[in-house]
Amino acid sequence: MPDLDRARVQDLLHQCAQTVLETMYFATVEGRQPPDGGPVPMRWVEVRFRGDPPGVFQIGLSHEAALSVAAGFMGEDPQCPENTEDVIRELANVVCGAVLSRLESDSSFELGSPRLVDGPMDETDSRVARCDLLLDCGAAAVCLRLGTVP
């Protein structure tokens, strides 16, 4: 199991998610904290990857954030964006790739297909780093677990 420098990985998750969301999804990251009032329900997408090290990446978006980033990406009315699930799967793919490219810049990795999952990984696991983000359109969270995937 690789050592995880949690603070460094949280910074990396923050930077990569912010860059991707602001460059291609036209959402603004306003801060690095959970929304006021405690946790909100999120739609989670998971990407498993092979590489050195292997692991699992997840991104969660609140309902409002999912609709808004999908609308921004597709250039559509935020009230009725088509293909929201496909858009957030691709978001997970792009953020995960950006994180791993910085984490493993001299090695190579292979991403699995992004898939919707029920909830976030267990952040009490010592191999897990999580970063909560406040967006202009809702809430998001990004998680990374390094180590062999069962």
Partner 1 sequence: MAYRVLIVDDSPAMRAFIRRVIEVSGFDCAACLEAGNGEEALSVLGQEWVDLILTDINMPSMDGEQFVRRLEQDECLRSIPVLVVSTDSTNRRIHHMLSMGVKGYLAKPFTPETLRGELERLLEAPHA
Footprint of partner 1 (CB under 8 A): 19-20, 23-24, 70, 73-75, 83, 86-87, 89-90, 93-94, 96-98, 100-101, 104-111, 113
Helix, strand, or coil here: 78?
A: coil
Least Cβ distance, residue 47 to partner 1 (angstroms):
10
Please, which residue, 24 or 117, has the CB nearer to partner 1? Answer: 24
How far is residue 91's CA from residue 26's CA, in Å, rounded to a whole number?
12
Least Cβ distance, residue 122 to partner 1 (angstroms):
26
How far is residue 78's CA from residue 47's CA, in Å, rounded to a whole number?
25
Please, which residue, 5 or 86, has the CB nearer to partner 1? Answer: 86
Please, which residue, 107 or 148, has the CB nearer to partner 1? Answer: 107
Least Cβ distance, residue 46 to partner 1 (angstroms):
15
Q: What share of the chain is helix, strand, coil (3-state, %, to 5)?
A: 35, 30, 35
Burial (CB count <10 Å: 0-12, 13-18, 19+), residue 113: exposed
Please, which residue, 33 or 107, has the CB nearer to partner 1? Answer: 107
Least Cβ distance, residue 13 to partner 1 (angstroms):
15
How far is residue 124's CA from residue 137's CA, in Å, rounded to a whole number?
28
